[in-house]
Each structure stands twice: as C-alpha cells, then as structure tokens.
Amino acid sequence: MDIGKRIKQLRVRNGLTQAELASRCELTKGFVSQLENDLATPSLPALMDLVEALGSDMSTFFSEEKQDQLVFGKDDFFEDDRGDYQVTWVVPNAQKNTMEPIIVTIQPHHSSQRMVPHEGEEFGLVLSGSVQLVNGNSKHRVRKGETFYIRGEQEHFLKNETSLPAKILWITTPPLF
C-alpha cells in the first residue's frame, strides 16, 4: 500500500490543505508534503494521529479499495483467431458481466459463428466492410456505419459476401462468445 498516496487521497476528500492537516496533527506542512510524496515515513503514533485527523481508523485506512477498471486499451484486449473469423474481447473477462462487447473480424466469403436461440439481445455496429445479417429466414445487408439490434429468439449469424474483411463491434447480453 502507498501510505502517502492514501493520506493525500483522504486529505483531498476531506477538503483539507497540507497545512491544515499538519496543524491538526502537530506536524509541519513540509513533513505532510514529504509523506504524500513518499519521501518520508511516519512513525506509528504520527500515522495514528493523521488517520484520526482524516476521519478514519487504522483498519479502514489500510483496507484496499478495489476499484473496477473503467478504461481498457489494446494491452487489455484478447484475440481468438477462429479461422473464418477473429474475435477480439475488448473488455477483459466480460463473460462475467451482463453484456459482452467484442469486435468480430470476418474474412471475405466467410461467416461468424451461428448463434443459437437464447434469451437476450444483441447490438452490432459495422466498423468496416459490410455483412449480411441472417436472422432466422430473413437476411439484411448492414454496411459500414450502420447498426443492427436483434433479440436472440432465432438462430442468427453474420456473413461476409465481399472480397474485403468486415469488422463489427458486437455486443451480446447475456455473454455468448
């Protein structure tokens, strides 16, 4: 745990300046600054005074607040090449969430996996190329910049009938991939 970072976090949350916190604990502003920048380590009595002045207790102060990751980048993505198409999970472990956003790249003259009927809904945005949405017995052309929204009541899949790869942002609920 980064004690200095935690002290600063609680100080800012309480709307205190370094000088105000230092005054409440009979410390110097410079020492509080050093603590927050990990240039000094407080003694146990000083830490206890700081924690109390910040309206907390030692148990709460040292408990780690696990925050869910909100922003994901390429290093977080996971790709699975399935031959005719590739699935890129853009949110790690999305299978445990309510919805599962993925990017599917379908090679020319190939199809995505066939989705069996399910309780749920799906949304797609064609990022590049074009695909044919086959939903039961109906077929719909979906081009770059267009979207689709379907319920999972019928077997369905995407088919790329062109000579260029097609890339689709596909969001399913519940997770299906």
Give the Cβ contact number of residue 106 at 10 Å.
23
| Dist. CA 155–CA 129, nearest whole Å | 23
pLDDT computed for residue 105 by the predictor? 98
Classify strands 121-128 and 110-111 as parallel, antiparallel or unpaired. Answer: unpaired
pLDDT computed for residue 89 by the predictor? 92
Give CATH for domain 3-62. 1.10.260.40
Q: Could you read off the pLDDT tens digit of each residue along the chain, which spans 177 residues?
A: 789 999 999 999 999 999 999 999 999 999 999 999 999 999 999 999 999 999 999 998 988 766 678 899 999 999 999 999 999 999 988 778 889 999 999 999 999 999 999 999 999 999 999 999 999 999 999 999 999 999 999 999 999 999 999 999 999 998 888
CATH number of this structure's domain 74-173, picked from the four choices 1.10.1660.10, 1.20.1250.20, 2.60.120.10, 3.10.690.10: 2.60.120.10
| Dist. CA 158–CA 160, nearest whole Å | 7
Reported pTM: 0.63
- Where exactly does CATH 2.60.120.10 map onto the chain? 74-173
Strand ranges, E, within 14-155: 78-81, 85-89, 100-106, 110-111, 121-128, 130-135, 138-143, 147-151
Classify strands 147-151 and 121-128 as parallel, antiparallel or unpaired. Answer: antiparallel
Classify strands 156-160 and 130-135 as parallel, antiparallel or unpaired. Answer: antiparallel
Residue with tokens 């031959």: 83
pLDDT computed for residue 116 by the predictor? 94
- Where exactly does CATH 1.10.260.40 map onto the chain? 3-62
Q: Structure tokens of 163? A: 């000579």
pLDDT computed for residue 155 by the predictor? 96
